[in-house]
């Protein structure tokens, strides 16, 4: 299945960076390992970041200078960065489960590894992530090292708890363990340290290198509440959307407002103008600028004209909804604030991109568009199989004749056609209500359970797809077995008879003999 990510996140890709420096021409701080040196090196170091790469891989070449810069900085912290050429060390890479390039893994000894889950777009992201890995989930701090800890990363969360308050400390420790890949955590038990910071135990303070620099949590110390607060407090009032920040915004659980602008000066101006709005709606919506020259194509994904800037739109990932602001209007903060308020209050309908509804359904597969989706897929008592496809997708093209054949099993039988629909929708030209992660995506929406679609993950054969509909649909239509039975009946022929004598002409070849229809 081809990933949809390159389409949805196309704006995240800055113009391709050529790897100008030949690694062989300079002394590298990234250590090359082979099968012979891998195990001994991993045994000698407590924490290692390893890149499994191929020399021809474009993404590997783009990562190389950032990886080198990170290696220089992390070398001082005794965190080595290594690389393994999988074209030369095939067995080693296979044993480590490498399926694509580059694959980054964190090792704590030769037999203990986990995937690297941090950002790769900047050296600072790699350094920040690995520093977190080198520390305990919660680092102890006191008056001597507090100031150093507060600036150790962009976001540092410190709990101030009495040493006897084991319950609160345990909750904080568990929370920190679950979020250690995302934030740096510490704890201080000295009441004098808490007093110096202007808080009273128990308290949690988030330190950051932007906006007001410090946020104090005043709610109940429980994991769910802490997570919501940390996500909100760690997000700039008006941030910037880019490769390092996009994922965090999309997974924040609240809508995201985009301000598209082509110049740095414009983005800085909008940042200042929109800060009061962002402050007013903090926790309900995130607001961020985005470089329209570099990532303007993403405006099209939000149903904006990707050639007209500045522009504004709101995306609600949880509802898969988009709200583009009228591009014929000037972006005035007061007017946009009213637009934001109306979206949050549900007074504005989301924008839906749709192809025209077909006047007729000419083929065996029912063609669905955004404006007919509810009627044809949801608001009926049929089992509906839907293929979400892209016109450029090679796998979709290969599936097309088999999908037509599958649809024919139902459309040519009136009883089956009343119970099952086989449909398709171009997910690049129509907004669909559920997230699509790759093409083709095939889902069955069973009658009576449309809110619980079943995703197909089997082989793309007519038999297996029909079996999937039979096993997961409400109506239990077994179209494939029925078709097989009809074919078997059609293959029945006249029983063999003795061969005629040499001078005898078979009846079926005599002039005027009746031709029998094949049964």
Active site residues: 57, 60, 393, 396
What token pair was written down for 3? 């990933």
| Partner residues linked to 470 by β-bridges | none
User: Contact 282/232 with Cβ under 8 angstroms?
Assistant: yes
Residue by residue, DSSP assigns 359-413 as SS--SSSEE--HHHHIIIIISSSSEEEEEEE-TT-HHHHHHHHHHHHHHHHHHTS
Through-space distance between the first and last CA atoms of the chain, rounded to whole angstroms: 41
User: Contact 444/427 with Cβ under 8 angstroms?
Assistant: no
CA distances from 390 to 63, 179, 297, 421, 514 (A): 29, 36, 18, 20, 52
d(CA 75, CA 81): 8
Could you tell me what percentage of the chain is helix, strand and coil, using 3-state DSSP and rounding each to the nearest 5? 35, 20, 45
* Helical H segments across 142-190, by residue range: 146-150, 166-178
User: Contact 240/290 with Cβ under 8 angstroms?
Assistant: yes
CA distances from 428 to 5, 301, 356, 438, 439 (A): 12, 9, 14, 11, 10
97 conformational bin, left if phi > 0, alpha if psi -120 to 50, beta if neither: left
User: Contact 80/135 with Cβ under 8 angstroms?
Assistant: no
d(CA 308, CA 261): 10
Nearest residue to 446 (alpha-carbon basis) of 502, 510, 382: 382
Nearest residue to 463 (alpha-carbon basis) of 484, 488, 442: 484
d(CA 187, CA 141): 6
d(CA 311, CA 331): 7
Residue by residue, DSSP assigns 337-361 as HHHHHHHHTT-SPPP---PPPPSS-
| Side-by-side strand order, sheet with 256-261 | 238-241, 286-291, 256-261, 311-316, 321-324
What token pair was written down for 333? 């903060």
CA distances from 283 to 113, 201, 237, 252, 328 (A): 36, 25, 10, 10, 29
């Amino acid at each position: 299945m081809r990933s949809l990510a390159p389409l949805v996140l196309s704006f995240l890709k800055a113009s391709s960076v050529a790897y100008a420096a030949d690694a062989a021409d300079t002394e590298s701080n990234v250590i090359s390992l082979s099968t012979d040196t891998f195990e001994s090196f991993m045994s000698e170091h407590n924490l290692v970041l390893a890149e499994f790469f191929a020399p021809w891989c474009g993404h590997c070449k783009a990562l190389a200078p950032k990886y080198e810069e990170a290696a220089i900085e992390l070398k001082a912290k005794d965190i080595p960065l290594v690389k393994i050429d999988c074209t030369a060390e095939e067995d080693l890479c296979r044993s480590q489960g490498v399926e694509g390039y580059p694959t980054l893994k964190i090792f704590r000894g030769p037999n203990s590894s986990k995937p690297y889950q941090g950002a790769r777009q900047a050296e600072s992201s790699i350094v920040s992530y690995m520093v977190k890995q080198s520390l305990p989930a919660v680092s102890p701090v006191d008056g001597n090292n507090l100031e150093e800890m507060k600036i150790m990363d962009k976001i540092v969360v410190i709990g101030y708890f009495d040493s006897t308050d084991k319950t609160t400390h345990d909750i904080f420790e568990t929370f920190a363990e679950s979020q250690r890949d995302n934030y740096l955590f510490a704890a201080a038990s000295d009441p004098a340290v808490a007093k110096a910071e202007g808080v009273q135990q128990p308290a949690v303070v988030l330190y950051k290198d932007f906006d007001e620099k410090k946020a104090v949590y005043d709610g109940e110390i429980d994991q769910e509440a802490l997570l919501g607060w940390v996500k909100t407090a760690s997000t700039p009032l008006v941030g910037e959307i880019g490769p390092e920040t996009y994922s965090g915004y999309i997974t924040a659980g609240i809508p995201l407002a985009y301000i598209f602008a082509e110049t740095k000066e414009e983005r800085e101006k909008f940042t200042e103008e929109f800060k009061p709005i962002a402050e007013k709606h903090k926790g309900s919506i995130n607001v961020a600028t985005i470089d329209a020259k570099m990532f303007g194509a993403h405006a099209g994904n939000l149903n904006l004209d990707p050639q007209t800037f500045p522009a504004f739109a709101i995306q609600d990932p949880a509802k898969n909804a988009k709200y583009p602001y009228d591009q014929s209007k000037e972006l005035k903060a007061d007017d946009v604030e009213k637009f934001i308020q109306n979206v949050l209050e549900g007074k504005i309908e989301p924008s839906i991109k749709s192809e025209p509804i077909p006047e007729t359904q000419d083929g065996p597969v029912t063609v669905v568009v955004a404006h007919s989706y509810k009627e044809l897929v949801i608001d009926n008592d049929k089992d509906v199989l839907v293929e979400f496809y892209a016109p450029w997708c090679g796998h979709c093209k290969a599936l097309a004749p088999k999908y037509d054949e599958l649809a024919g099993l139902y459309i040519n039988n009136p009883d089956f056609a009343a119970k099952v629909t086989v449909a398709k929708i171009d997910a690049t030209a129509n907004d669909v209500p559920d997230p699509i992660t790759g093409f083709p995506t095939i889902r069955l929406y069973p009658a009576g359970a449309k809110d619980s679609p079943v995703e197909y993950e089997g082989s793309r054969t007519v038999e297996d797809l029909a079996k999937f509909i039979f096993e997961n649909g409400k109506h239990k239509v077994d179209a494939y077995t029925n078709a097989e039975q009809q074919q078997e009946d059609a293959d029945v022929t006249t029983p063999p008879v003795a061969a005629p004598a040499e001078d005898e002409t078979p009846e079926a070849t005599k002039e005027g003999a009746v031709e029998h229809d094949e049964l």
